């Protein structure tokens, strides 16, 4: 009897007990730090002992470290599009750097948290994530202020110290609302040139030195949270966008191949009071899961529909319950090879088994073969059939391609200075018939070496290397086009023209080759041919702003001012940040006797680039025409202070005795840029 009573009492007691709810991070701030080009195995927390990364290691000990986090693509822009949206590249449509713009429709962390009342700010380390590529949507403040002087092609990135300074200034603003801050640190990207003291400490391992510098900047950001008393109420997520091959599998950097050195990235998550300190999640996870998980932790879930075959999973409940996530397939792709006319490559990892879909397929057991050196598909063909079928199904369920990004010549030059070709010949995800990228890796390595020589201004070295590449692969339009560009820069315009014609013959749809042929003809003084070539280039790519700018110049030099005005107006419509095009439009409007419109165009050019002399000269010219010499001289002096080396024609206006020349010139080849 007593036993029965005890049993009933126990039953009653147990029925009244409710499971203790898992703690949440509702209302917390969010600090997302993305580490560009950082391999997981180069951090102390992941077992590396040749570099000191105390801040990242401490963060790992205070939060959760994901031992096996995988990037879906070894390229900066598409990887960040996935990090912010929780969608795989086939779903959001951004497959390459510089080729597409992230679409307007998908929700992102910024749009979701901004709508929930968060203050949102982003701080960008390289032009590859410039707002023109669409990731700025939802941010109140998008700091991508990388120098855009008219000759700043190489200033396509800025040091992490500068990025962190900007972020710290924003974080120090006292506001009542919670914040979401995204800080992008680009330092570990090639070429590796760490600042002191890491330049000296890691003189023989500059990549490690760059990561040490990145760690220092992470420390500054974490220190600011502690200083403001915000550390206990801030979710901190640190993640690599992709890794770096460092010569493994023959690849110097990243982008072409989908082996683990380029895909395995660090992922650290600290949520005080919510997630346990020092926990290591061993189940492989994808970066596509990060956005829905962060939104879930903050109890601001992304809209329904973000999950699915091409969307990530919200792991927040699982993590708060301190359980390992369920196993999932990890998808990865690279379409970068299609830029060279080579095949796409896709990968799918299921547990330790990884399949690579390529002209010569590959299958690896990462548990036994982490270096991916023993291709099981060569010895047991067909074992990866199930994974191959899954990849094909994912490809079939892909959404529409993202819209092309608006890219002018400067933008392409800035991406080139970062080592990216801006998807010049991107053939799309269906190009599976070209050369297998792993069989082209020697050519790709040669291309990278030639490219960096070109970027560094070692033109003779670059020309010799590109000559060898063209000799090895004479039907590769990219190699031929880059040799043409090198010839153009060395002043060999006739050889450059011949090579560009060869590139167009190889790839008639190559928009860059057609455009570059046209502008080289223009440089060579072959204006009629240039006009014809520019017209053809615009037919192929009507949204290319610099082509309209170049055609406008060509028409103006032929005296066809109204046609020139229309082309230049189209150029600034497509790219409202192009100071050169606005200046050229001002020149044409001035000669069309439309001074008010000309003044607006010149002023816009001067606003866009305050250190650009030409629009100041144009404004001075207008003041001469208005018989206002004092104002004219003021503009001319400002122009000469910026560019004293320029030659200016005399206008005949009267100047104070200490001045001997004046600075107005009419529409001429020298007027246009």
* Angle of CA points 557, 558, 561, to nearest 5°: 80
- Give 658: exposed, middle or buried? Use CB within 10 Å, 0-12, 13-18, 19+: exposed
Those residues whose C-beta lies under 8 Å from the C-beta of residue 239, and which sit 6 or more positions away, are: 32, 33, 34, 35, 69, 83, 265, 266, 267, 268, 287, 290
Whole-number Å distance between alpha carbons of 31 and 621: 50
Asked if 263 and 240 count as a contact pair (C-beta separation under 8 A), the reply is no
* DSSP for residue 268: E
* 9 Cβ contact partners less than 8 Å away, ≥ 6 residues apart: none
Domain topology for 31-395: Alkaline Phosphatase, subunit A (3.40.720)
Question: Which residue ranges in the chain fall short of pLDDT 50?
Answer: 1-17, 149-155, 423-427, 648-670
- What's the rounded Cα separation, in Å, for the pair 362 and 377? 5
Pairing of the two strands 29-35 and 234-240: parallel
| Model-wide pTM > 0.75 | yes
Q: What is the DSSP string of 280-303?
A: EE-S-EEGGGHHHHHHHHTT-PPP
Nearest to 293 by CA among 263, 318, 274: 318
In DSSP notation, 577-594 reads T-HHHHHHHHHHHHHTT-
| Extended strands (E) in 422-520 | none
Q: Measure CA 283 to chain center.
A: 29
Sign of the Cα torsion 289, 295, 300, 303 reads negative
Which residue, among 548, 585, 549, has the nearest Cα to 565 in the 3D structure? 585
Enumerate the domain spans of the chain: 31-395, 579-673
Provide the pairing of β-strand 119-123 with 141-143.
Answer: parallel
Instruction: Return d(Cα 450, Cα 441) in angstroms, integer.
Output: 14
Nearest-angstrom CA–CA distance, 115 and 511: 40
Is the bond preceding residue 191 a cis peptide, omega within 30 degrees?
yes
Choose which CATH entry (1.25.40.10, 1.10.3720.10, 1.10.1240.10, 2.130.10.10) describes domain 579-673: 1.25.40.10
Torsion sign over Cα 495, 498, 504, 506: negative
- For 597, list phi and psi in degrees, rounded to 5: -65, -40
Torsion on CA atoms 109, 79, 409, 165, rounded to nearest 10: 60
φ and ψ at 492, to 5 degrees? -85, 75
CA dihedral 542, 402, 475, 480 (to 10 degrees): 60
CB-CB contact of 669 with 646 (8 Å)? no
């Amino acid at each position: 009897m007593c036993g029965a009573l005890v049993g009933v009492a126990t039953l009653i007691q147990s029925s009244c007990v409710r499971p203790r709810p898992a703690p949440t991070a509702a209302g917390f701030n969010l600090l997302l730090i993305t580490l560009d080009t950082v391999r997981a195995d180069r951090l102390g927390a992941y077992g590396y002992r040749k570099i000191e990364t105390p801040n990242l290691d401490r963060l790992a000990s205070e939060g959760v470290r994901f031992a096996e986090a995988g990037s879906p693509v070894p390229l900066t822009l598409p990887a960040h599009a996935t990090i912010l949206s929780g969608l795989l590249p086939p779903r959001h449509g951004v497959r390459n750097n510089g080729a597409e713009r992230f679409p307007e429709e998908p929700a992102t962390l910024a749009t979701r948290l901004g709508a929930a009342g968060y203050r949102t700010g982003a701080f960008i380390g390289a032009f590859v994530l410039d707002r023109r590529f669409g990731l700025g949507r939802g941010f109140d403040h998008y700091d991508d202020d990388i120098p855009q002087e008219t000759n700043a092609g190489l200033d396509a990135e800025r040091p992490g110290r500068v990025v962190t300074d900007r972020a710290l200034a924003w974080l120090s603003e006292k506001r009542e609302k919670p914040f979401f801050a995204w800080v992008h640190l680009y330092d570990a990207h090639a070429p590796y040139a760490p600042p002191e003291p890491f330049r000296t400490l890691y003189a023989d391992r500059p990549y490690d030195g760059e990561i040490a510098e990145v760690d220092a900047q992470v420390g500054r950001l974490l220190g600011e949270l502690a200083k403001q008393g915000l550390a206990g109420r801030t979710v901190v997520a640190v993640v690599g966008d992709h890794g770096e091959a460092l010569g493994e599998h023959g690849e110097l950097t990243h982008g072409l191949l989908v082996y683990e050195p380029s895909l395995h990235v660090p992922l650290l998550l600290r949520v005080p009071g919510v997630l346990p300190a020092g926990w290591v999640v061993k189940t492989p996870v994808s970066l596509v899961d990060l956005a829905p998980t962060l939104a879930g932790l903050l109890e601001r879930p992304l809209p329904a529909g973000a999950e699915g075959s091409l969307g990530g999973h919200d792991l927040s409940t699982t993590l708060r319950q301190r359980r390992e996530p369920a196993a999932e397939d990890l998808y990865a792709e690279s379409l970068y090879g299609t830029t060279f006319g080579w095949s796409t490559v896709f990968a799918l990892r299921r547990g330790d088994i990884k399949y690579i879909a390529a002209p010569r397929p590959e299958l690896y057991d990462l548990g036994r073969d982490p270096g991916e050196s023993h291709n099981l598909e060569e010895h047991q063909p067909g074992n990866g059939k199930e994974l191959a079928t899954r990849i094909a199904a994912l490809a079939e369920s892909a959404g529409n391609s993202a819209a092309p990004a608006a890219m002018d010549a400067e933008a392409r030059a800035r991406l080139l200075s970062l080592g990216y070709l801006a998807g010049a010949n991107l053939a799309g995800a269906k190009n599976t018939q070209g050369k297998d990228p792993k069989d082209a890796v020697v050519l790709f390595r040669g291309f990278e070496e030639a490219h960096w020589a070109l970027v560094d201004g070692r033109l003779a070295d670059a020309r010799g290397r590109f000559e060898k590449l063209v000799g090895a692969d004479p039907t590769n339009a990219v190699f031929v086009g880059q040799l043409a560009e090198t010839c153009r820069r060395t002043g060999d315009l006739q050889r450059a023209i011949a090579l560009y014609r060869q590139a167009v013959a190889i790839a008639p749809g190559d928009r860059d080759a057609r455009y570059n042929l046209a502008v080289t003809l223009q440089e060579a003084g072959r204006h009629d041919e240039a006009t014809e070539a520019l017209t053809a280039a615009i037919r192929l790519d009507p949204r290319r702003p610099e082509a309209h700018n170049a055609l406008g110049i060509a028409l103006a030099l032929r005296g066809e001012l109204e046609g020139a005005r229309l082309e230049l107006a189209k150029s600034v419509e497509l790219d409202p940040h192009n100071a050169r095009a606005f200046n050229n439009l001002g020149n044409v409007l001035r000669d069309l006797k439309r001074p008010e419109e000309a003044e607006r165009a010149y002023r816009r050019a001067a606003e866009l680039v305050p250190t650009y002399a030409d629009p100041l000269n144009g404004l001075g010219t207008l003041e001469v025409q208005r018989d206002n010499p004092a104002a004219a001289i003021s503009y001319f002096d400002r122009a000469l202070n910026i560019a004293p080396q320029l030659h200016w024609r005399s206008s005949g206006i009267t100047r104070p005795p200490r001045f001997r020349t004046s600075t107005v010139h009419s529409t001429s080849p020298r007027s246009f840029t």
